[in-house]
Amino acid sequence: MAAPRSEAAAAAAAAVGPSTRGGGASRLSRARCRWRWGLAGASCALLLPLLLLLCAPPSVAQKKKENLLAEKVEQLMDWSVRRSVIRMNGDKFRRFVKAPPRNYSVVVMFTALQPQRQCSVCRQANEEYQVLANSWRYSSVFSNKLFFSVVDYDEGADVFQQLNMNSAPTFMHFPPKGKPKRADTFDLQRIGFAAEQLAKWIADRTDVHIRVFRPPNYSGTIALALLISLVGGLLYLRRNNLEFIYNKTGWAMASLCVVFAMTSGQMWNHIRGPPYAHKNPQNGQVSYIHGSSQAQFVAESHIILLLNAAITMGMVLLNEAATSKGDVSKRRIICLVGLGLVVFFFSFLLSIFRSKYHGYPYSA
């Protein structure tokens, strides 16, 4: 009887065992589901604030910032429509150029145009600046991404002090974001202030390309017409005696004038458009010789022309004293005068060369 009971008990255990194991598996599955739902709920709790933040309407401060920017751009556009170059004092400069928010670039010319300042360079630079600003204002690509302005020393001396600026004219670019870098100050002393050079510099700093349009200038055409008329009239009056055309001395003088003009840098002046001289606004000192070997003033080219002419005159006198057959005492005087011209003016020319090319005489 014991054996049957054991078999019955085993059979009952086998029958109950699978159901018990099945119940444990179902409880484990329900626990896993609850854990997964809890994890999903925690993730939603973390992501929901972020989604609300992204989808939420802009704050009051953001709206105020956008309204201020729109107001500034609208005001600048209104001024630009009236005048291509916006005149600014200290308050306008700080509000529209220095203070954020900004999504536009501003090119500012710091100058001193009042007559009592006697800044001829400022007037010349201002003319080129006006040509550039008008070319941008009336171009087909004109937009609110770039504005031109000017700050005069007598209207914004505080701005000059704020920027530690002690010379004029000076051109600076103020980018939409951040502070101006070194390259945002135009190298006027080396490049000059021609409108084309300013446009190239602006293209490098802002990617805004401005095609310069200059108003028609007929002065060159009129001067050429007058010159041709003068020469034609002279030839007509001397039509019976044209031997002067074969005058070697006259042609030599004309050739020397062309040589002096080219060797003194007149062509460089025509291409680069440098100022005539530079006046320091702090002490009023005027410089006629540029301190760098990479640039020059117009007055400097005139000085070099006169020095070359004086040296050439001395060489001509020395040649005359050596080849002529006149009185010996007269030839000696001519020789001394020629030698004095060459020595004095060549020494002056060499001193200018040393002041511009630092380190001369060069050593091996």
Q: What is the CATH number of the domain that holds 161?
A: 3.40.30.10
pLDDT for the residue 39: 55
Question: Is a pLDDT exceeding 60 seen at residue 64?
Answer: yes
32 within domain boundaries: no
* Mean pLDDT score, 204-226: 87
* H runs (alpha helix) in 148-295: 157-162, 188-191, 195-206, 219-237, 248-263, 266-272
Task: Please check whether residues 77 and 135 belong to one and the same domain.
Answer: yes
Q: How far from the centroid of its chain's Cα atoms is residue 7's Cα?
A: 105
pLDDT for the residue 145: 92
Tens digits of residue pLDDT in 115-134: 887 787 888 899 999 999 99
Question: Is a pLDDT exceeding 80 seen at residue 288?
Answer: yes
241 within domain boundaries: no
**Separation between Cα atoms, residue 174 and residue 42, nearest integer Å:** 49
35 within domain boundaries: no
- Which segment of 204-208, 223-227, 277-281 scores lowest on mean pLDDT? 277-281
Give the number of other CB atoms < 10 A from CB of residue 112.
21
DSSP 57-92: PPPHHHHHHHHHHHHHHHHHHHHHHH-SEEEE-HHH
Helix/strand/coil for 248: helix
Task: Please check whether residues 78 and 191 belong to one and the same domain.
Answer: yes
Task: Please check whether residues 178 and 257 belong to one and the same domain.
Answer: no
pLDDT for the residue 54: 53
Residue 56: name the closest of 48, 64, 67 by CA.
Answer: 48
Question: Is a pLDDT exceeding 60 seen at residue 100?
Answer: yes
364 within domain boundaries: no
Task: Please check whether residues 191 and 268 belong to one and the same domain.
Answer: no
228 within domain boundaries: no
**Separation between Cα atoms, residue 72 and residue 102, nearest integer Å:** 8
Per cent of the chain over pLDDT 70 is 82
The neighbouring-strand residues paired with 150 are 87, 109
Give 345's Cβ-side CA count (13 Å radius): 19
pLDDT for the residue 38: 58
Task: Please check whether residues 188 and 83 belong to one and the same domain.
Answer: yes
pLDDT for the residue 239: 77
pLDDT higher for 148 or 21?
148
Task: Please check whether residues 171 and 106 belong to one and the same domain.
Answer: yes
pLDDT for the residue 9: 45
Helix/strand/coil for 297: coil
Tens digits of residue pLDDT in 71-90: 999 999 999 989 999 999 99
pLDDT for the residue 51: 55
pTM of the model: 0.54
Task: Please check whether residues 200 and 283 belong to one and the same domain.
Answer: no
Task: Please check whether residues 194 and 267 belong to one and the same domain.
Answer: no
Choosing from 206, 236, 256, the residue where a domain stops is 206
53 within domain boundaries: no
pLDDT higher for 37 or 331?
331
Helix or strand run (H / E) with residue 152:
strand 146-152
**Separation between Cα atoms, residue 296 and residue 287, nearest integer Å:** 11
Query: Which tokens go with 178?
Result: 């951040």
Cβ neighbours for 184, distance < 8 A, ≥ 6 positions apart: 172, 173, 174, 175, 205
* H runs (alpha helix) in 153-218: 157-162, 188-191, 195-206
Provide the residue range defining the domain that includes 296: 247-356
Choosing from 206, 230, 256, the residue where a domain stops is 206
Helix or strand run (H / E) with residue 351:
helix 328-356
Task: Please check whether residues 336 and 261 belong to one and the same domain.
Answer: yes
Task: Please check whether residues 199 and 287 belong to one and the same domain.
Answer: no
CB 308 within 8 A of CB 330: no
16 within domain boundaries: no
- Cis amide leading into 18 (omega within 30): no
Helix or strand run (H / E) with residue 173:
strand 170-174
7 within domain boundaries: no
Token pair 């201002």 is found at 126
* Mean pLDDT score, 303-309: 92
Choosing from 206, 231, 255, the residue where a domain stops is 206
Number of domains in the chain: 2
Task: Please check whether residues 317 and 197 belong to one and the same domain.
Answer: no
**Separation between Cα atoms, residue 47 and residue 42, nearest integer Å:** 9
Task: Please check whether residues 196 and 102 belong to one and the same domain.
Answer: yes
